[in-house]
Structure 1
Amino acid sequence: MLWGKLNRALRAMIMMLQRAVKGHLNLRAALFSLAMIVSLLFAIKALCLIDRSSLWGDELRTVIKAFQPSVLFIFDYLKTDSHPPLYYLMLWGWGQSVGQSAISLRLFSWLAYLVGGILMITQAAGLARCRARAVAFAALLAFCTPFPVRFSIEGKGYALLVAMLALALLIRRLILDRASFRPTLIIAYGLAVALASLTHYYGFGLICALLFWDGLRRRWSLVFAAFIGIVPSSLWIIYSSGHLFNPSTNRWIAPPEFSLLSNTLIRALGVYPFWKLGGLILLILALNSWGHRKRFMEVLDADARSGLNQLLDRSGIWGGCVLVLIVMGLSYLKPIAFSRYFVVLVPVLVPALAAAAADWSLRYRGEWFALVILTMVVLHYWHAAFVDINPPQGEFRRERSDFRSVSLRLADESWRYADRSILFNASDQMLVAAGSLKSNQKPWGDKDDLLSRLTQGNSPEQFYLAASGRKSKMNKRLNDLKVISDQNGYQCFQLDDLPRGAMVLNCQQKTHP
Structure 2
Amino acid sequence: MKPWVAVPFFKDANVSVRADRLALAAVLIIALCVRFYSITVPVIWYDEAYSLLLARETPARIWALTALDVHPPLYYVLLHYWLAVWGESPLAARAFSVLADIGTLLLCVKLMSLISTRRATWIAAVLLALLPISVRYSQEARMYTLLGFWLMAATVALLCWARHPEQKRFALIYVLLMTAAFYTHYFAGLCVLVHWLFWWQSRATRDGAAISAQSWLVANIAIVFLYLPWIPRFIQQLSGTGSFDWIEPVTLQGALTLVWQYTVLGEAASIPLTWQLLPCGLMLVFAGTIIISNPDKRHFSVLLVSYFFVPLVALYLIALALPLFVPRYLVFCAPALALISAAAMDIWGRRRIILASAALLLLVIMQVHGLTMVYLQTDGLNGTGARKDTSFSSLVTQLNQLAHPGDEIVIASAFWYPSFAYYNTTGIDPKFEIRSSIDGFLQLTRQGVLSLLNDPVMNVYIDGVTVLDCPGRKIWWITNTVLPNEPPRLAKVRRPLQSLQEGNVSLYSFACDRSADLN
Does the pair score TM above 0.5?
A: yes
Other structure's SS at 2:138 match: coil
Distance 1:368 1:262, change over 3 A: closer
1:428 partner letter? Y
Rounded to whole Å, the distance in 2 between the matches of 1:89 and 1:36 is 31
Shift of 1:241: 1.0
Partner of 2:169: 184
Other structure's SS at 1:151 match: helix
Partner of 1:214: 199
1:466 and 2:478 aligned? yes
Shift of 1:216: 7.6
Other structure's SS at 1:447 match: strand
Question: Which of 323-332 and 71-80 deviates more?
Answer: 323-332
Task: Say which of 227, 235, 240 aligns to 1:241.
Answer: 235
Task: Say which of 224, 229, 234 aligns to 2:223.
Answer: 229
Task: Say which of 32, 54, 77 aligns to 2:65.
Answer: 77
Rounded to whole Å, the distance in 2 between the matches of 1:74 and 1:374 is 41
Other structure's SS at 1:54 match: coil
Q: Is the 8 A contact 1:134 1:357 kept in 2?
A: yes
Partner of 2:446: none
Shift of 1:341: 0.6
Rounded to whole Å, the distance in 2 between the matches of 1:319 and 1:396 is 26
Distance 1:303 1:257, change over 3 A: closer
Partner of 1:147: 133
Shift of 1:135: 2.8
Alignment of 1:244-283 (within 5 A): 244-246=238-240, 248=242, 250-258=244-252, 260-261=254-255, 264-269=258-263, 270-271=265-266, 272=271, 274-276=273-275, 279-280=278-279
1:387 and 2:381 aligned? no
Alignment of 1:35-74 (within 5 A): 37=26, 40-68=29-57, 70-74=58-62
Q: Is the 8 A contact 1:157 1:200 kept in 2?
A: yes
Partner of 1:427: 422
Q: Is the 8 A contact 1:267 1:340 kept in 2?
A: no
Task: Say which of 496, 505, 508 aligns to 1:506.
Answer: 508
Rounded to whole Å, the distance in 2 between the matches of 1:276 and 1:311 is 30
Rounded to whole Å, the distance in 2 between the matches of 1:325 and 1:426 is 39
1:200 and 2:185 aligned? yes
2:345 partner letter? A
Distance 1:226 1:406, change over 3 A: farther
Partner of 1:111: 99
Rounded to whole Å, the distance in 1 between the matches of 2:167 and 2:129 is 32
Other structure's SS at 1:417 match: strand
With structure 2 as the length reference, what TM-score do the two structures score? 0.72
Task: Say which of 324, 330, 337 aligns to 2:312.
Answer: 324
1:175 and 2:186 aligned? no
1:416 and 2:409 aligned? yes
Rounded to whole Å, the distance in 1 between the matches of 2:335 and 2:226 is 22
Instruction: Identify unmatched segments of 5+ residues in structure 2.
Output: 1-13, 204-210, 435-459, 515-519
Shift of 1:195: 1.2
Can you list the C-alpha shifts for 1:289-310, whole angstroms capped at 9, x where unaligned?
A: xxxxxxxxxx979962625732
Q: Is the 8 A contact 2:53 2:422 kept in 1?
A: no
Count of paired positions:
446
1:207 partner letter? V
Shift of 1:40: 2.5
Q: Is the 8 A contact 1:197 1:207 kept in 2?
A: no
Task: Say which of 293, 296, 300 aligns to 1:304.
Answer: 293
Rounded to whole Å, the distance in 2 between the matches of 1:168 and 1:273 is 38
Shift of 1:338: 1.3
Distance 1:211 1:485, change over 3 A: farther
Rounded to whole Å, the distance in 2 between the matches of 1:358 and 1:318 is 19
Q: Is the 8 A contact 1:127 1:352 kept in 2?
A: no
Q: Is the 8 A contact 2:247 2:326 kept in 1?
A: yes
1:358 and 2:346 aligned? yes
Shift of 1:382: 4.5
Rounded to whole Å, the distance in 1 between the matches of 2:149 and 2:282 is 31
Partner of 1:15: none
Rounded to whole Å, the distance in 2 between the matches of 1:36 and 1:274 is 38
Q: Is the 8 A contact 1:65 1:74 kept in 2?
A: yes
Q: Is the 8 A contact 1:98 1:104 kept in 2?
A: yes
Distance 1:490 1:215, change over 3 A: farther
Can you list the C-alpha shifts for 1:148-167, whole angstroms capped at 9, x where unaligned?
A: 01111210011111111110
Distance 1:330 1:127, change over 3 A: same
Other structure's SS at 2:331 match: helix
Other structure's SS at 1:181 match: coil
1:135 and 2:121 aligned? yes
1:426 partner letter? A
Shift of 1:247: 5.3
Identity over aligned residues, as a percent? 19
Distance 1:46 1:159, change over 3 A: same
Distance 1:365 1:53, change over 3 A: closer
Q: Is the 8 A contact 2:409 2:475 kept in 1?
A: yes
Distance 1:239 1:273, change over 3 A: farther
Rounded to whole Å, the distance in 2 between the matches of 1:167 and 1:205 is 15
1:166 and 2:152 aligned? yes
Q: Is the 8 A contact 1:79 1:243 kept in 2?
A: yes
Rounded to whole Å, the distance in 1 between the matches of 2:28 and 2:290 is 35
CA RMSD in angstroms, aligned pairs only: 4.3
Other structure's SS at 1:75 match: helix
Partner of 1:22: none
Partner of 1:4: none
Partner of 2:455: none
2:174 partner letter? Y
Shift of 1:115: 0.9
Distance 1:407 1:303, change over 3 A: closer
Q: Is the 8 A contact 1:148 1:159 kept in 2?
A: yes
Higher relative contact order (CA 8 A, sep 6+): 1
2:155 partner letter? L
